[in-house]
Amino acid sequence: MKEVINIYKKNKITIDNFISTLVNSLPSSYLESSESILKKYNFIQLMYEVDNDFKQISPIVCRREKDVDGINSDKSHYFLKLNLDENSMYTSNPYIHYRTGKASISVVVLEGEKYKVFDINLILLLEHLRLIEYNTQYEKFKKGVYSIGSLFLAIVSLMLIAYGGYKFVSILFIFDATNFLQSIFKSIIAITLGLAIFDLAKQIYENEVLFHSFEHAEDKQYQILGKFLISIVIALAIETLMVVFKVALEDYTQMLSAFYLLLGTTLMFIGLGYYYKMLRDAKREDSKN
């Protein structure tokens, strides 16, 4: 909702000019042609008319029905802040529509002794003007793919956590001194990787399915990647520690290989630290601008 409003505010003049041109191009008997108008302009949610006393004088025409129950009802509470511009038009601030639950704006146009009222779906309007990329069918398909992908990732993470728990429980009941450290480290690595993958699945589901963003904020993607990399580096560090202990206790000839593994893990830590430093510096530059 916040991003939609920001896009709307940045392009308000263009949007107002478009709406003004559109409304003025409608025929005087536009309510009788409502079916074709609503089909052509899918962003119009409903429309109706009120008189000078703000009494409703027409049915509320929606996409699927005509509501006649409100005829002669008092609509003055909707017009308390009515302030027409030089084109005899008023556009409300964005709000959540009571019928559709979508981000919307209301447009009021004075024509003679009556007011034309249009409730407009803000997201579909911005899409119509090519100010955002939003396609209902494509969005459903993409959300379905992300949902399935995140579900499988979550299943994999639970399997890893379950395996780690199994290894830990087996240590408690079947004590094996020779493989004790190895089993402990395997348990820790499996649980750590499971949590990392689960966190990745959670981030994908939240950002791409539940709270999908119209503007692809790069910092959000970097945050997801950063959290995943941290978990991977931690798991790799634990694996490195296990290898070092194993080499130190069993085979000193492999110490050089253990050293290279430790060096590689250290370089990954340094790279991850540099990665976060660059992100922090970029945020500071953005805040200054």
pLDDT at 90: 92
Locate tokens 């409903």: which residue? 46
State the pTM of this model: 0.51
How far is the C-alpha of 109 from the C-alpha of 166, rounded, in Å? 69
Tokens representing 132 are 């955002």
CA distance 254 to 58: 87
Residue 108, pLDDT > 90, answer yes
Exposure pattern of 11-47 as b/e (b: 16+ CB <10 Å)?
Answer: eeeebbeebbebbeebeeebbeebeebbeebebbbbb
pLDDT digits (tens, 9 = 90+) for 56-84: 999 999 888 888 888 889 988 888 888 88
Residue of higher predicted confidence among 256 and 224? 256
Predicted confidence band at 222 (pLDDT cuts at 50, 70, 90)?
Answer: low
**Domain 2-128 is of which CATH architecture?**
2-Layer Sandwich (3.30)
Domain layout of the chain by residue ranges:
2-128, 136-288
Phi/psi of residue 113, nearest 5 degrees: -110, 25
Contacts for 173 with CB less than 8 Å, ≥ 6 apart: none
